[in-house]
């Protein structure tokens, strides 16, 4: 009986480990080697998606040899994301550039076409690069996904920000609750760089 129980427990642990092949993100995490096959989809129109054969961008191409400020949020066209989160980065874009940041990126668990429409509505596309994480794999790889089914959103991203240098996390801020906007704004991370 004990042998059967041990075998079953070992099998369950093995299954869980296979399903959860992702590592949590923390200061010091190397995103490029930690999630080598994870990619994002640059915001674009449907026609641009078709002409690019629905291309994706690997994390190494986003972060390698660059200084990047990236922020994640629950979703395009949602309240805090639209009214506070994106504007806090857009209004500070010149200050980020003055600190040597190569790129400021906004990412959400949305398709790249929704992200494109939202970026255009916010008139932020020239300042910030927008990426979709259509299947949530990027946020899952970082352990930054959250079930927001209660708000009819399904699995989404926590609200967070990070400063990444050559793929390595130097600063990470994650809100305790996705509706809060206390530690993940542009002003906060600007002071941490």
Evaluate whether 23 touches 141 at the Cβ level (below 8 Å): yes
Spans of all domains in the chain: 24-190
Residue 114 pLDDT exceeds 50: yes
Q: With cut-offs at 50, 70 and 90, classify the pLDDT of residue 76.
A: confident
Among candidate residues 25, 31, 38, 81, the one labeled active-site is 81
Query: How far is residue 113 from each of residues 95, 127, 133, measured CA to CA in Å?
Result: 28, 18, 11
148-176 mean pLDDT: 86
Q: Which residue has the higher pLDDT, 5 or 118?
A: 118
Eight-class DSSP state of 35: S
Of 40, 166, 151, 55, nearest to 106 by C-alpha is 40
Can 81 be counted among the known catalytic residues? yes
Residue 97 pLDDT exceeds 80: yes
Q: pLDDT tens digits for 53-72? A: 998 998 899 999 999 999 99
pTM, two decimals, is: 0.82
Q: Which residue has the higher pLDDT, 37 or 95?
A: 95
Q: pLDDT tens digits for 122-142? A: 999 999 999 999 888 888 888
The CATH homologous superfamily for domain 24-190 is Glutaredoxin (3.40.30.10)
pLDDT for 154 equals 64
**Considering the chain, what percentage of its residues have pLDDT values greater than 70?**
88
For residue 58, count other CB atoms closer than 10 A to its CB: 15
Q: Which residue has the higher pLDDT, 127 or 3?
A: 127
96-118 mean pLDDT: 95
Residue 120 pLDDT exceeds 50: yes
Q: Per the structure block, which two tokens stand in for 37?
A: 């096959």
pLDDT for 115 equals 94
Query: How far is residue 167 from each of residues 57, 115, 140, 185, measured CA to CA in Å?
Result: 14, 23, 17, 21
């Amino acid at each position: 009986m004990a042998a059967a129980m041990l075998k079953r427990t070992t099998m369950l642990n093995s299954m869980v480990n296979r399903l959860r092949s992702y590592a949590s993100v923390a200061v010091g995490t190397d995103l490029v080697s930690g999630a080598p096959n994870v990619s994002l989809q640059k915001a674009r129109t449907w026609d641009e998606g078709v002409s690019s054969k629905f291309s994706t961008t690997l994390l190494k191409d986003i972060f390698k040899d660059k200084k990047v400020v990236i922020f994640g949020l629950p979703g395009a066209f949602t309240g805090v994301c639209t009214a506070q989160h994106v504007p806090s980065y857009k209004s500070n874009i010149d200050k980020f550039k003055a600190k040597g940041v190569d790129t400021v990126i906004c990412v959400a668990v949305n398709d790249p076409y929704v992200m494109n429409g939202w970026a255009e509505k916010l008139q932020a596309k020239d300042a910030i690069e927008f990426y979709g994480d259509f299947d949530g794999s990027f946020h899952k790889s970082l352990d930054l996904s959250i079930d927001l089914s209660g708000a009819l959103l399904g699995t989404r991203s926590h609200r967070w920000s990070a400063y990444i240098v050559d793929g390595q996390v130097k600063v990470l801020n994650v809100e305790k609750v996705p509706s809060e906007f206390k530690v993940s704004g542009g002003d906060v991370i600007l002071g941490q760089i």
